[in-house]
């Protein structure tokens, strides 16, 4: 974590798309310094509730 700290992005508030189905604002991470997204393997036995 200490080595990769400078690669973390800045989270800022941005306006939403103007569609009432979405929030008025979003928190968006910008200026990320990692070369690729990490791989996520949650496994078939992990249930994540979708709202």
The confidence score (pLDDT) of residue 6 equals: 86
Provide the residue ranges of all domains of the chain, joining segments of one domain with +: 1-38
Measured distance CA(29)–CA(11) in Å, rounded: 4
DSSP state of 7: G
Beta bridge partners of 14: 26
| pLDDT, tens only, 15-50 | 999 999 999 999 998 888 888 877 777 776 777 666
The confidence score (pLDDT) of residue 48 equals: 67
pTM attached to this predicted model = 0.50
Measured distance CA(36)–CA(18) in Å, rounded: 30
The separation between CA 10 and the C-alpha centre of its own chain, rounded to angstroms, equals: 11
Contacting residues for 43 by C-beta, under 8 A, at least 6 apart? none
């Amino acid at each position: 974590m200490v080595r990769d700290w400078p690669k973390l992005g800045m989270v800022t508030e941005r306006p939403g798309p103007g569609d009432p189905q979405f929030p008025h604002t979003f928190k968006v991470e910008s200026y990320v310094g990692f070369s690729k997204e990490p791989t996520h393997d949650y496994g078939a036995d992990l249930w994540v509730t979708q709202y």
